[in-house]
Amino acid sequence: MLKALYIIFGVGVISAYTVASMLGWEISGGSRRQLPPDARQNGYRSFHFWHYGLHGGK
């Protein structure tokens, strides 16, 4: 039983890795969003959709 589970799990992990490699998918890919339609219509360069406040620093 455990053996079958581990085999299924292992095959699944390797398959997932193979598919991810073929599709260029990165596990550390960061977040992905959709620009709101109004922002696109009004020009996203000036739209305050982006980021606010302090973002980084040591």
Binding-site ranges for another protein (CB under 8 A): 2-3, 6-7, 9-10, 13-14, 16-18, 20-37, 39-40, 44-45, 50-51, 53-58
DSSP state of 45: T
Nearest to 46 by CA among 54, 55, 38: 38
Minimum distance, C-beta of residue 17 to another protein, in the bound complex (Å):
4
Tell me the residue type at 40. Answer: R
Minimum distance, C-beta of residue 49 to another protein, in the bound complex (Å):
8
Minimum distance, C-beta of residue 53 to another protein, in the bound complex (Å):
7
Nearest to 44 by CA among 30, 53, 34: 34
